[in-house]
Structure 1
Amino acid sequence: MQTHEFTVTETARLDKLVAETVTTISRSQAKGAIEAGQITVDGQPAKPKDKPAVGATIHIELPAPQPLDVTPENIPLDIVYEDDDVIVVNKPQGMVVHPAPGHPNHTLVNALLYHSPLSSINGTLRPGIVHRIDKDTSGLLMVAKNDHAHQSLSAQLQAKTNLREYVAIVHGNFKEEEGVIRAPLGRAPKDRKKQAVVADGRPAVTHFRVLERYGNYTLVSCRLETGRTHQIRVHMAYINHPVAGDPLYGPKKTLKGEGQFLHARELGFVHPTTGEQLDFTAPVPPHFMAVVNKLRHEAGLPVDKVI
């Protein structure tokens, strides 16, 4: 049995509160658990739409995860760091993080399970996965090798103490040098495969900073304060600077590539056991760097600068 407990600090729907506080539970999972009587408010049954008062105690008891049934696969990994608790991996563009409908194998999880035991908190399909990046986004991910590490890393994500910084090529030229996008995200009303800025969405905050300007394109740094699905891609499109190459949120006329030009460059967290602050950097992949240098050349900028 997995047990969680927290105190309500802001008024919102119960299923939303649970999903935002316990990062290993999605909103749909929270709804199902509430309806199954696995989540109570001050010891009493509740409904997903209930809005507990500030100060109320939310108690969660979930069944133990089922044994893993994902097949380990001998797929090469770019491991940046590893110890008994965590793995930091540099995921290539084009690799799906965990099995899902349409992608039953050849994922990062299949490769990781061949390499090492992983935490069981996320069940059979997402063992060890504390946070995700999209298939066509490259870069750094932290992975938990045991449940203690998973709980610690998840708590840091919830407390917004992690460093998660991305670099992206986006359309257009910014008027400002830096800024903050605060716009709640949720399912797009007319397309359930997409995310969108919606009034009743989950809070989402992205900090951006201009790195280089190329006229019709800009190289930016994006630091996540929250980590919603497709957050940077949706937020950049929302301010009319969609990520170049993004087939879902960007224009058809864009830079040629195998998907969005978005790379998780920096990752930082407190080690679950030692308490040491760990920070890692992964250079942008060669195809990304080649496009940057092409844009630099066209803009009359030096092409030998490392991102």
Structure 2
Amino acid sequence: MYTVTEGNVRLDKSITDNIEDLSRARAKSLIEDGLVLVNGEKKKPKYDVKIDDEITVEIPEPETMNVEPEDIPLDIVYEDDDVLVVNKPQGMVVHPSAGHPNHTLVNGLLFHSPLSTINGTYRPGIVHRIDKDTSGLLMIAKNNHAHESLSQQLKDKSNIREYIALVHGNIKENSGVINAPIGRSKKDRKKQGIVEDGKNAVTHFKVLERFGGEYTLVSCILETGRTHQIRVHMKYIGHPLVGDPLYGPKNTIQGNGQFLHAKKLGFVHPVTNEQLVFETPLPEIFEQTITKLRNKYKIQ
């Protein structure tokens, strides 16, 4: 339940603005199902809320998903008894959710190996994530000891996570640091944005190539790991990612989503204490796009 502090807003939008991780469509569905009361009464989604209205929202428990192992081909870069390093392709979701109950990386991993249980049923073994249309390296924990160690390294900012991104525009600086807090966008709940009360987020970038003032290839090193961090930070400085359907312009190079690849990953092994560093090449469509840009702008 919450009390309205901003009036003259549709009921479904008010609910979305006040309850995290609830889409406008889901809010409308709850209203139509009679699970939302305004001052104890049912209203329509288009009802304009008034200041001091008491809104009660009943969210039913989600149906339990069975996460089934699936024989999905995996590009395993490294594996031992404690950890896995996987090169995730574009288009693959990392773990099951309501919208993606199967065919995820986790489904494939469960078929291949035992995984840590710290993150529960839907995210076994998953220490960190990358977006569906971002490709590249992920570290996976096969047991709880490994999971705790790898998670702590993320918190301590002691591991290595380097991404390659193709962005719009000409970044004039050769390198820089973007330090801007990230949280859920106040305007669009599906997006992240730069918000005052967001979580600390720091991205280091370095220019690798420039293409005629229209595009720039950059290396991004994450100091923190917020949702959509590189995508949001690059848009914030005026250079959104090429192909990004959420944060980029409509007039862009078409690919399989944003041109963003987790190229380099490094961490200390949770048992041997050995420093491990892995690299993986860009996906074919990313490499082809860069080659076309080099040819177009005669870059050798």
> Same fold by TM (over 0.5)?
yes
Match of 2:154 in 1: 157
The equivalences for 1:180-219 within 5 A come to 180-215=177-212, 216-219=214-217
Match of 1:174 in 2: 171
Q: Distance in 1 between matches of 2:211 and 2:98?
A: 39
Q: Distance in 1 between matches of 2:206 and 2:297?
A: 19
Match of 1:243 in 2: 241
CA displacement 1:128-162 (0-9 Å, x = unmatched): 00000000000000000000000000000000001
How large is the Cα RMSD of the aligned pairs?
Answer: 1.4
Letter in 2 for 1:176: E
Corresponding residue SS for 1:191: coil
Q: Distance in 1 between matches of 2:120 and 2:268?
A: 24
Corresponding residue SS for 1:112: helix
CA shift, 1:69, in A, is 3.8
The answer on 1:72 being equivalent to 2:69 is yes
CA shift, 1:191, in A, is 1.2
Match of 1:284 in 2: 282
Corresponding residue SS for 1:213: strand
CA displacement 1:77-123 (0-9 Å, x = unmatched): 00000000000000000000000111000000000000000000000
Match of 1:270 in 2: 268
Q: Distance in 2 between matches of 1:193 and 1:151?
A: 30
CA displacement 1:161-182 (0-9 Å, x = unmatched): 0100000100000110000000
Q: Is the 8 A contact 2:116 2:142 kept in 1?
A: yes
CA displacement 1:257-279 (0-9 Å, x = unmatched): 11000000000000000000000
Corresponding residue SS for 2:128: coil
Letter in 2 for 1:269: F
Q: Distance in 2 between matches of 1:197 and 1:101?
A: 27
The equivalences for 1:92-171 within 5 A come to 92-171=89-168
Paired residues in the alignment total 238
Match of 1:257 in 2: 255
CA shift, 1:301, in A, is 1.0
Q: Distance in 2 between matches of 1:192 and 1:86?
A: 35
Larger radius of gyration: 2
Structure 2: give runs of 5+ residues left out of the alignment.
1-19, 21-63
Q: Distance in 2 between matches of 1:68 and 1:275?
A: 36
Q: Is the 8 A contact 2:65 2:101 kept in 1?
A: no
Letter in 2 for 1:170: V
State the TM-score, normalized to the length of structure 2: 0.78
Corresponding residue SS for 2:191: strand
Structure 1: give runs of 5+ residues left out of the alignment.
1-27, 29-66, 303-307
Letter in 2 for 1:231: Q
Change (3 A) 1:68 1:118: farther
Match of 2:30 in 1: none
Q: Distance in 2 between matches of 1:103 and 1:256?
A: 24
